Amino acid sequence: MPDPCALVVFGVTGDLAKKKLIPAVYDLGNRGLLPPGFVLLGFARRDWGDGDFEQLARKAAEQHARTEFREDVWRRLADSIKFLPGSFDDDNAFDELDRTLVELEASHGIAGNVAFYLSIPPAAFPVVLKQLARTGMADGSERSGWRRVVVEKPFGHDLDSSVELNRLVDSVFTSHDVFRIDHYLGKETVQNLLALRFANTLFEPVWNSHYVDSVQITMAEDVGIEGRAGFYDSAGAARDVLQNHLLQLLALTAMEEPVAFDAEALRTEKHKVLGAISLPADLELSTVRGQYEQGWLAGERVKGYLDEEGVPPGSTTETYAAVRLGVETRRWAGVPFYLRTGKRLPRRVTEIAVIFKRAPHLPFAKTDTVELGNNQLVVRVQPDEGVTMRFGSKAPGSAMEIREVSMDFLYGSAFTESSPEAYERLLLDVLLGDKTLFPDHEEVEASWQVIDPLEEFWQGRIPQRYRAGEWGPRAAEDMLARDGRTWRRP
């Protein structure tokens, strides 16, 4: 159970707050994981009182919470919901926030503990951080309790801007009080990757270049940009997903065993992997950028990217990115890691597929094994959370005919309790001060070092087109075909 505390959310009327943060707070309350002295304080530029914010929060919880909506849980939470109107450059509003936090010590017993959540556009980070510094609100040593800050991705736009952002954040908060959120690390199935690898003996002996042919990491979405043109068009798929979620998945797949399951040990191993990533020599042949055109998805006609509201005419931003990376360590040398992500692909699926080499020798007639592919171990991050193993098996009958089969572990049927949402887990960790599942700034910078050369190479190039509802541009298939491989069809 966390200490009594206040969670101050900047940008509380935004999509992230409504769809993820407020529902996660409700779910934690419903599970009895919020301390008695907990306050949710929204800050936004609205002429609102506590009641208006309570209404918004209630609707968000009713619509998006994972757990059942219960009136008694809500009543308890509603008593500790506060709202402060103000713009980020308004000194008076921040002075008022400071006063309110002091008052909450007496009225709600928050004991000076405050987490500030920056659910705001990156351009607004500096002004909010400066306000927190100016008022002294960021400084836990001046107050009785702890002060933490949660920074949402994107952490900068490239290496330089991320170094600059880190410098700014670190000048206001002490580094162990800074929580950078990559919500993929809060997903149960992503943490399960560590359990799978390091709690068992079965997989680790074959988890290397002697047995592994290649690794494919896919994050596909059927949705488009969902009204986020302003942000998305200046980012693109590589900055939005490859730089963070996919590289974190790669790091967890490829890293060595940490000496403990704690923040320090995990980070040490992730740093090593991220620092060992190599880009292919020929970026033309080993990277693909795409942009969706109008097409059909689930029986519905959907717009092309250029027709989405707010996208500038002729935009060359990519909505699909694929790349082949290497990991230059003894364990992985020579094994390609293929990463891909895209919007408006046929379905929503995230998975890590470890594809094994073919058996060096098959004591069967050639015709017996025509239907045998490479063995695969697939971590299904979402949906249908679980793990699949694919291997050859004798088909029933008098002939020795070997066919590929699947063995499945499904979270939904193996466990009775459902998994917490990523934000639920991560918010709780922020309040508990546990940084195990949060990337540090060195990881973020190492990830930009991988992405920057790609962005530089892509600069000024027109992305390849793909029709909404297809698995990305043709060039992505060609990229793997040149290596004698094909993408998995998840």
Residue from 177, 213, 240, 424 that binds ligand BG6 (CB under 6 A)?
Answer: 240
Task: State the nearest-atom distance from the C-beta of 160 to ligand BG6, in Å.
Answer: 21
Q: Which residue is nearest to ligand BG6 (CB)?
A: 240
Spatial CA neighbour of 447 closest among 240, 275, 249, 257: 275
Task: State the nearest-atom distance from the C-beta of 428 to ligand BG6, in Å.
Answer: 17
User: Which residues in 84-103 contact ligand BG6 (CB under 6 A)?
Assistant: none
Q: Is 138 exposed, middle or buried (0-12, 13-18, 19+ CB in 10 A)?
A: buried
| Residue 221 binds ligand BG6 (CB under 6 A) | yes
Angstrom distance (rounded) from CA 219 to CA 236? 14
Angstrom distance (rounded) from CA 147 to CA 196? 35
- 483 phi/psi in degrees, rounded to 5: -90, 5
HSE (CB half, 13 Å, CA atoms) of 4? 14
User: Which residues in 312-351 contact ligand BG6 (CB under 6 A)?
Assistant: 350
Task: State the nearest-atom distance from the C-beta of 443 to ligand BG6, in Å.
Answer: 16
Spatial CA neighbour of 444 closest among 235, 244, 286: 244
Compare residues 221 and 308 and give the one whose CB is closer to ligand BG6: 221
Task: State the nearest-atom distance from the C-beta of 241 to ligand BG6, in Å.
Answer: 6
Burial 242-256 (b: 16+ CB within 10 A, else e): bbbbbbbbbbbbbbe
Task: State the nearest-atom distance from the C-beta of 296 to ligand BG6, in Å.
Answer: 20
Q: H-type helices in 186-321, by residue range?
A: 188-198, 229-235, 237, 247-254, 263-275, 283-286
Residue tagged active-site, from 108, 157, 183, 245: 245
Task: State the nearest-atom distance from the C-beta of 244 to ligand BG6, in Å.
Answer: 7
Compare residues 39 and 151 and give the one whose CB is closer to ligand BG6: 151
Residues 6+ apart with CB under 8 A from 346: 220, 222, 297, 469, 470, 471
Compare residues 221 and 443 and give the one whose CB is closer to ligand BG6: 221
User: How is residue 83 written in tokens?
Assistant: 């709202």
Task: State the nearest-atom distance from the C-beta of 43 to ligand BG6, in Å.
Answer: 22
> How many residues in the shown chain lie near ligand BG6 by CB under 6 A?
4
Spatial CA neighbour of 57 closest among 13, 104, 108, 8: 13
Compare residues 120 and 172 and give the one whose CB is closer to ligand BG6: 120
- 89 phi/psi in degrees, rounded to 5: -100, 15
- 339 phi/psi in degrees, rounded to 5: -115, 135
CB 140 within 8 A of CB 146: yes
Task: State the nearest-atom distance from the C-beta of 445 to ligand BG6, in Å.
Answer: 19
User: How is residue 472 written in tokens?
Assistant: 């990305």
Token pair 């968000």 in the structure block, residue: 60
Task: State the nearest-atom distance from the C-beta of 221 to ligand BG6, in Å.
Answer: 6
Compare residues 2 and 236 and give the one whose CB is closer to ligand BG6: 236
CB 10 within 8 A of CB 117: yes
Cis peptide before 312 (omega within 30 of 0): no
User: Which residues in 278-307 contact ligand BG6 (CB under 6 A)?
Assistant: none
245 is catalytic: yes
> Which amino acid makes up residue 85?
P
Compare residues 281 and 298 and give the one whose CB is closer to ligand BG6: 298
Q: Is 2 exposed, middle or buried (0-12, 13-18, 19+ CB in 10 A)?
A: buried
Compare residues 232 and 332 and give the one whose CB is closer to ligand BG6: 232
Compare residues 112 and 154 and give the one whose CB is closer to ligand BG6: 154
Angstrom distance (rounded) from CA 180 to CA 245? 12
Rounded to a whole number of angstroms, the distance between the first and last alpha carbons of the chain is: 39
Binding mask 350-389 for ligand BG6 (x = CB under 6 A): x---------------------------------------
DSSP 371: B
For 278, the enclosing helix (H) or strand (E) is strand 277-278
Compare residues 248 and 286 and give the one whose CB is closer to ligand BG6: 248
Active site residues: 245
Residues at the interface with ligand BG6 (CB under 6 A): 221, 240-241, 350
